[in-house]
Structure 1
Amino acid sequence: MTEKNVILIGMPGAGKSTVGVVLAKKLGYSFTDSDLVIQEQTGRLLYQLIEAYGEEGFLEIENKINATLVLSGHVIATGGSVVYGEEAMEHLSEIGCVVYLKLSYKELTERLGDLHKRGVVLKEGYTLEDLYRERVPLYEKWADITITCDGRNIRDIVEEISEKYLKESWQQ
């Protein structure tokens, strides 16, 4: 039997990578950051890809790479824009349990630093609030489990994810 994966989705700054590492340790899984996979496969940082190929070009690269991940028994932290890629999200849904780390807009603005350096895909003329309102319905659409993260520590978030994941027996 192949172990399923836990796929973390959510806005930049929601804690996908941080929570992912701790969750992987707790479950005895490996950890993969799909943004790092993109950087490794392209040889460029995310913001360099956005500068070179534009928003649409970056999203195509992200979609293709995420749609071809072949992993088992991993916690996968995805980039915040992964939900724009239909192929990627269908694939990720097939190979694991998709967990949305939900963060309020207020808490998100307190956590985020330089969006450009983070490699955040932001359409011209868009504000962070526009991006938030556009993405939240997509995160909700793809989520098998939603975890509210506002004002919570990593340990509590990891505990809730692992309880819900194991309870739903996604690992089979």
Structure 2
Amino acid sequence: MKNIVLIGMPGCGKSTVGVILAKIMGFHFIDADLLIQEREGKLLTEILEDDGPEAFNQIENEVNLQIGGSNTVVATGGSVVYGKEAMEHYRETAIVVYLQLPFDEIECRLGDITERGISMKEGQTLRTIYEERIPLYEQYGHLKIDTLGLDIKDAAQKIKETVKLSMPSS
């Protein structure tokens, strides 16, 4: 089966739900943010601080372009949608699932965004990032899953069922 790639805002549960989804589907799990940190030898916050958001987005694009295989759940960083090449790669080789949450819930979950390692230009706020990225998540997602009010296990189960329904019968 194709990979399942999770996209969405920071705090929407991509990594947390992704681990459970991989377990209930018998898939491997990859956290793209961890691959970025491993490649660069520093934390996301350090990359953003040292190199800036544009360089970070280029690194993120390169790392995500290299993720292939099958039967893997990939949790991406929230800014992956700025990498057109990576997103086109995922649209061709995987089922891209947009985990949707309203702004208020994202804001509540994230708290202090400066500690999170979020790719943002000077002067941007969480609200402006949210408004900028939502159209990109909707553009690149094959499927959109509203996870508001769902716990981790229920969100993973909903994704699994939705993905299975979207797959052509063999």
TM, length-normalised to structure 2: 0.95
SS, match of residue 12 in structure 2 = coil
Pick one of 24, 27, 43 that aligns with 2:25. 27
Identity %: 49
What is the 5 A alignment of 1:80-159?
80-159=78-157
CA distance in 1, matches of 2:169, 2:55: 34
Q: Give the C-alpha shift of residue 114 in structure 1.
A: 2.8
SS in 1 for 2:52: helix
- Taking structure 1 as reference, are residues 171 and 121 closer, same or farther at Cα in structure 2, changes over 3 Å only? farther
Deviates more, 1:77-86 or 1:93-102: 93-102
Count residues with an aligned counterpart: 170
Kindly indicate whether residue 47 of structure 2 is the aligned counterpart of residue 52 of structure 1: no
One-letter code aligned to 1:131: I
Letter of the structure 2 residue corresponding to residue 124 of structure 1? E
Tell me how far apart the structure 1 counterparts of residues 117 and 82 of structure 2 sit (CA, whole Å).
15
CA 1:71–1:171: 2 relative to 1, 3 Å: farther
Indicate the SS of the match to 2:78. Answer: coil
Q: Report the Cα offset of residue 5 of structure 1.
A: 0.4
The answer (yes or no) to whether the contact 1:19–1:157 under 8 Å persists in 2 is: yes
- Displacement of 1:93 in angstroms is 1.4
Relative to structure 1, the CA distance from residue 108 to residue 7 in structure 2 (aligned partners, 3 Å threshold; closer, same or farther) is same
**Structure 2 residue matching 1:8: 3-state secondary structure:** strand
Q: In structure 2, what is the equivalent of residue 61 of structure 1?
A: 59
SS at match of 1:61: helix
String of CA shifts for 1:30-84, please: whole Å, max 9, x gaps.
1100000111111111011111111101101101111121232100000000000
C-alpha RMSD of the superposition: 1.4
State the Cα distance separating 1:116 from its structure 2 match.
Answer: 2.3
Q: Supply the distance in 2 between the matched residues of 1:57 and 1:28 (Cα, whole angstroms).
A: 35
Q: CA separation of 1:39/1:170 partners in 2, compared to 1, >3 Å: closer, same or farther?
A: farther
SS of corresponding position for 1:132: helix
